[in-house]
Amino acid sequence: MKRMLAIVGCCLLAAVMIRAQPSSSPKPYRVVFDLTTDDPQDQTAVLRWLREVASVNPQNEMEVVMYGRGLALVVPGRSTLTDDVKTAIGRPHVSFKVCEIAMRNQKVDKSQLLSNVVIVPDGIGEIVARQKEGWGYIKAVAH
C-alpha cells in the first residue's frame, strides 16, 4: 500500500511538473532580423542574438534576411564568421534567407552560398510579409 501511494505520488508530481513547464519558459515568439551591412560587429551581434533568443525559449522562431551588403555573411571568403554561421544555420527554428536581387547585383551565384541558405526573390518583400504575419522585426545594427 505504501509503495502504491509512493507511485501515485510520483505520478502526481510528474503531472504537476509537466503542467508547470509551459509557464516556466516564456511564450515562444517569432522574429525576423534585417541585415544590410557587412560590418563584422553587426554580423557578430546577429549571431549572438540568435543564440540568446534560442536560450530564452528553444521554441522561438528566428529568420535572418540578408540583402545589400548583408549578403556577405553567407558567402565564404566575404566573412570571417563562416564557421559560426554554419553552426547557426544548423540549429532548429533558425533560417537564413538571401535576396535574389542582391545576388544578381553582386554577381553571387547560388553555388557560392553556404549550404541550407534559402534564396528568396525579394528580401524586403520577405521581411514585409513576416511583419504582416505578426513576426517581430529587428534591424541588425550594432556598430
Q: 40 to 79, contacts with its own copies by CB under 8 A? A: 45, 48-49, 52-53, 55-56, 68-69
37 binding its own copies? (CB under 8 A): yes
The interaxial angle of helices 82-89 and 40-56, nearest 10 deg, is 30
Which three three-digit cell numbers place residue 66? Answer: 540578408
**Is 81 one of the binding residues for its own copies (CB under 8 A)?**
no
**# chain residues binding its own copies, by CB under 8 A:** 35
Give me the residue label for grid cell 541588425.
140
Phi-psi category of residue 77: left, alpha or beta, with phi > 0 → left and psi -120 to 50 → alpha:
left
Q: Which SS3 state, helix, strand or coil, does residue 78 take?
A: coil
For its own copies, the binding residues (CB under 8 A) are 26, 29-31, 34, 36-37, 45, 48-49, 52-53, 55-56, 68-69, 101, 121-122, 124-125, 127-129, 131-132, 134-139, 141-143
